[in-house]
Structure 1
Amino acid sequence: MTYQETLDYLFNALPMFQRIGAAAFKKDLSNTIKLCDHLGNPQHQFKSIHVAGTNGKGSSSHAIAAVLQEAGYKVGLYTSPHLKSFTERIRINGLEIPEQSVVNFVTDHRFFLDELKPSFFEMTVGLAFDHFAKQEVDYAVVEVGMGGRLDSTNVLSPELCLITNIGLDHTQFLGETLAEIAGEKAGIIKEKTPVIISQNQPETFSVFKEQAMNRNAPIFFADQFYQVKQLGINNETLLCDYEVAKNGERSVFKMDLFGKYQEKNLPGILMAFEVLKEQGLKLDDEVIHKGLASAAQTSGLKGRFQKLQEDPFVYCDTGHNVEGLSIVMEQIGEMHFEQLYIILGMVNDKDISKALALLPKMAQYIFCQANIPRALPAEQLQQKALEHGLKGDIVKDVNEALAISLKKADKKDLIFIGGSTFVVAEIENL
């Protein structure tokens, strides 16, 4: 099989949630367990850190992986979805899995896969764990795809679980309330395994506390230990400064991860290092500082309030739900610019009214749509946006929309692209 034939097999074997939505959702772990058994249970052959949450789990996973790599460990990183290339999902020390390894996995196990008929996500998880085991990683940082309890990654026996935050996303699968969704995310909590909650929320506190108690798992609400405030871009380092207070002592961490939401993520990240050090991990403060300062560069993270150019500034962000977009808009509100242009695209299986209500009416909009079946048609998005006082034109292709915006914008203006991971993924110069 060629690499393209292999990708076609993976993508077409069964519907993929990211592209088509509900039809791809599976409600048990049986296929993942059978596949891992077939592969010799690679998920038990390395230490792992399991990361769930509605927002922030990708940034947190990349940051933890980068610091562990800075400390000299061989680190696997599994995340989803990818932006440009399938191989982004599976990395070791920042390097994406070789295309030939993907081909070999499918070729070697084709008969079993044809018989089992696992989903795209189940096969990808099996591939990741098999790759990490064969390459003998010291740690693998594994991001949950959706939910937690029934997610394919939930066959791990991790050293540590991290749950970033809970928001109203994927409600058709995970529940209609924050407490119900927290119950699904809490499904990653394992017996006697420390669990960290990055952001303490009144609606979810008791859910996590009860599940941790039932599993005899030590639980840490990280923002009760660490208080974080974004100070802004440091002109000397071109990194973002974050003031961290703990037990009355203050320090500044520099990160190449921008965006106000890192204020919510950083307590969980720092708490994770504290717990891992108690488990015997060799990690000093200097390594943590250095690792966080180059987290995005080291781990290859893209699309998290990423600056694409200056004069005018162009930023993109993959945030696509109310919680994610609200913090992005808060960040934009603190920036200095004359006119704001927003290139917006969304998916068709979410209630977007609350998200649209967050967006500034004074911005000039261009409505676009990603080239996937799940995309909300730009015409429908324009109509729904108009109900919230948001006016703009339709340019379906995001790159054409960006080109038009750049012709209109002056040097002191700001162009923002977002609303969907899949819109950001189609930006050519990302």
Structure 2
Amino acid sequence: MTSMSTTNSLTTLSDWLAHLETAHPTVIEMGLQRVNTVKERLGITFECPVIIVGGTNGKGSTCAMLESILMQGGYKVGLYTSPHLIHFNERARINGISVVDADFVQAFHAVELAKAEISLSYFEFTMLACTKIFADAKLDAVILEVGLGGRLDAVNIFEADVAIVTSVDIDHVEYLGDTREKIGFEKAGIFRAHATAICSDPSPPQTLIDHANQIGADLWLFGRDFNYAGDKQQWNYAGRHQRRHSLAYPSLRGANQLLNASAALAALEALRDRLPLGAQEIRSGLVMIDLPGRFQVLAGRPTVVLDVAHNPHAAATLHQNLDNMGFHAYTYAVFGAMQDKDILGVINQLKNQIDHWCLTDLPLPRAASAQHISSLLSEAGVTIDKDHSIQCFENPANAYTYALSRAGENDRIVVFGSFLTVAGVIECRNNKKQP
């Protein structure tokens, strides 16, 4: 147990984060009792609507859409997400602005004092600090993104007025199970009796439906309770009680974004009495979303795409999105991933679209080495010839710099995999812009 004299000496956010990374268990300890006890000691409660968003993929996009639309409606909105891309502060935003260091330091001291003898993981500790900041800010709406699964995730200590499951696919099998049915049950754990439960997966597992019905949740299913239709210029949303016509496409690009947008609009429809919104606020919110690393196509040549696709389901969506782009002579990939991911499954989704692989090590013990990924490429049948190559690098910056040096103006570079891969390239690009 850390002494108070030790934590009293922590005065900066970087000090605290360094302390939390070493002083708190890094293993994932499923269960809610410990974190709920500390929440109660801290007195964290919300009088405003709480939206909790879970799912294998699409969580971050759906949260960003909800935040943007509600802000356009004039509401004061708190958004908690994880992991962060560049700066820890990104995990807690109020009205689109990251919480400042001083507020985090104050919240960390409060959590440390309240937890006393209780052991918390890094994720649990920081999530409590973020929600403590939100509780003190007197918000109109709170949006919380699930970290892993749902039923036993720390975010699930809060009661959702609306819970969204965006998609269900295979990921984190060591914690959630190895089938969509098992994973669907875990994700459905964020649903609550008599509250709205939304699933935008077009083929939801039966376990999710059964759990929602068993607890008496008000289940909204895509295709049954809400839907969308559109052409190249605009799209329409249809829900149980509301229709939204002539909507602009979300500023987030990609094949699944209308599914995510439909889930967001279904949630806001369910909350229409508490958080009323006009048509123009919906339209403006959809086109003003800022979420780096989700099929983000950067300006300039060669074309550079950033995408945090790190499981086969997300890689399949990335495959579809790359197919929908214009012609590119060669495609370079900057790719790094965690060892516990289905890396071979990701490779199999994308191997036919990539000519040159620039593989990178990542600065975490649980990251897969570039050499290991290289062996998986060979296992997947990726060959080396005059038009195809595999190179290994120590970090994402070096991998990206090499790809940039090789790519012609009619080529493209796709940076994908772990958040750390995309973050490393973003920081590399930012550093190159410095005078």
TM normalised by structure 2 equals: 0.89
Q: Shift of residue 306 of structure 1?
A: 1.3
SS of match in other structure, 2:60: helix
Q: Deviations over 1:9-34 (max 9, x none)?
A: 22223243xxxxxxx11121011111
1:238 is aligned to none
CA–CA distance in 2 between the matches of 1:245 and 1:112?
45
Structure 2 residue corresponding to 1:315, chosen from 305, 312, 322: 305
Q: What pairs up with 1:222-371 in 2 under 5 angstroms?
A: 222-224=222-224, 225-228=226-229, 231=232, 243-244=235-236, 246=238, 251-277=246-272, 279-296=273-290, 301-336=291-326, 337-361=328-352, 362-371=354-363
Verify: 1:382 aligned to 2:374, yes or no.
yes
2:433 is aligned to none
Q: Which amino acid aligns with 1:227?
A: Y
2:385 is aligned to none
Q: Which amino acid aligns with 2:369?
A: P
* Distance change (3 Å), C-alpha of 1:229 and 1:413: farther
Q: Shift of residue 37 of structure 1?
A: 1.2
Q: Shift of residue 308 of structure 1?
A: 3.1
Report the RMSD for the aligned CA atoms in angstroms: 1.9
Q: Which amino acid aligns with 1:330?
A: Q
Structure 2 residue corresponding to 1:162, chosen from 144, 161, 164: 164
Verify: 1:179 aligned to 2:181, yes or no.
yes
Stretch moving more, 49-58 or 405-414: 405-414
User: 2:302 touches 2:407 (CA, 8 Å); kept in 1?
Assistant: yes
Stretch moving more, 206-215 or 282-291: 206-215
Q: Shift of residue 245 of structure 1?
A: 5.7
Q: Which amino acid aligns with 2:365?
A: P
CA–CA distance in 2 between the matches of 1:82 and 1:175?
25
Q: Shift of residue 408 of structure 1?
A: 1.1
User: 2:305 touches 2:415 (CA, 8 Å); kept in 1?
Assistant: yes
Q: Deviations over 1:193-250 (max 9, x none)?
A: 0111112315x0x22222222222111113443135684xxxxxxxxx6533649996
- Aligned-residue sequence identity (percent) comes to 30
Verify: 1:200 aligned to 2:216, yes or no.
no
SS of match in other structure, 1:359: helix
CA–CA distance in 2 between the matches of 1:360 and 1:244?
35
Verify: 1:142 aligned to 2:134, yes or no.
no
Verify: 1:413 aligned to 2:411, yes or no.
yes
User: 2:35 touches 2:154 (CA, 8 Å); kept in 1?
Assistant: yes
1:84 is aligned to 86
Q: Deviations over 1:248-270 (max 9, x none)?
A: 99634232211222133122122
SS of match in other structure, 1:268: helix
Q: Shift of residue 43 of structure 1?
A: 3.4
Q: Shift of residue 283 of structure 1?
A: 0.3
SS of match in other structure, 1:426: helix
* Distance change (3 Å), C-alpha of 1:255 and 1:6: same
Structure 2 residue corresponding to 1:29, chosen from 32, 51, 70: 32
Structure 2 residue corresponding to 1:2, chosen from 2, 11, 15: 11
Q: Shift of residue 77 of structure 1?
A: 0.1
User: 1:223 touches 1:267 (CA, 8 Å); kept in 2?
Assistant: no
CA–CA distance in 2 between the matches of 1:230 and 1:175?
38
Q: Deviations over 1:124-151 (max 9, x none)?
A: 1211111111110111100000000000
CA–CA distance in 2 between the matches of 1:228 and 1:92?
32
CA–CA distance in 1 between the matches of 2:158 and 2:227?
28
Q: Shift of residue 110 of structure 1?
A: 3.0
1:39 is aligned to 42
Q: Which amino acid aligns with 1:317?
A: D
CA–CA distance in 1 between the matches of 2:338 and 2:244?
44
CA–CA distance in 1 between the matches of 2:113 and 2:235?
54
TM normalised by structure 1 equals: 0.90
Structure 2 residue corresponding to 1:96, chosen from 94, 98, 106: 98
CA–CA distance in 2 between the matches of 1:288 and 1:259?
19
1:60 is aligned to 62
Stretch moving more, 48-57 or 365-374: 365-374
CA–CA distance in 2 between the matches of 1:349 and 1:405?
26
* Distance change (3 Å), C-alpha of 1:396 and 1:129: same
1:236 is aligned to none
CA–CA distance in 2 between the matches of 1:425 and 1:37?
35
Q: Which amino acid aligns with 2:355?
A: A
* Distance change (3 Å), C-alpha of 1:230 and 1:61: farther
CA–CA distance in 1 between the matches of 2:214 and 2:238?
29
User: 1:31 touches 1:122 (CA, 8 Å); kept in 2?
Assistant: no
Stretch moving more, 143-152 or 107-116: 107-116
User: 1:44 touches 1:157 (CA, 8 Å); kept in 2?
Assistant: no
Stretch moving more, 244-253 or 210-219: 244-253
User: 2:163 touches 2:190 (CA, 8 Å); kept in 1?
Assistant: yes
1:425 is aligned to 423
CA–CA distance in 2 between the matches of 1:316 and 1:339?
16
Q: Which amino acid aligns with 2:52?
A: H
Stretch moving more, 361-370 or 188-197: 361-370
Q: Which amino acid aligns with 1:31?
A: R
Structure 2: gaps spanning 5 or more residues: 1-9, 383-388, 431-435
* Distance change (3 Å), C-alpha of 1:242 and 1:166: farther
1:13 is aligned to 23
Would you say how many aligned residue pairs link Structure 1 and Structure 2? 406
CA–CA distance in 2 between the matches of 1:167 and 1:369?
26
Q: Deviations over 1:294-319 (max 9, x none)?
A: 011xxxx2211112332111011011
SS of match in other structure, 1:106: helix
Q: Deviations over 1:66-114 (max 9, x none)?
A: 1111101100000000011111101100111110111112234434445
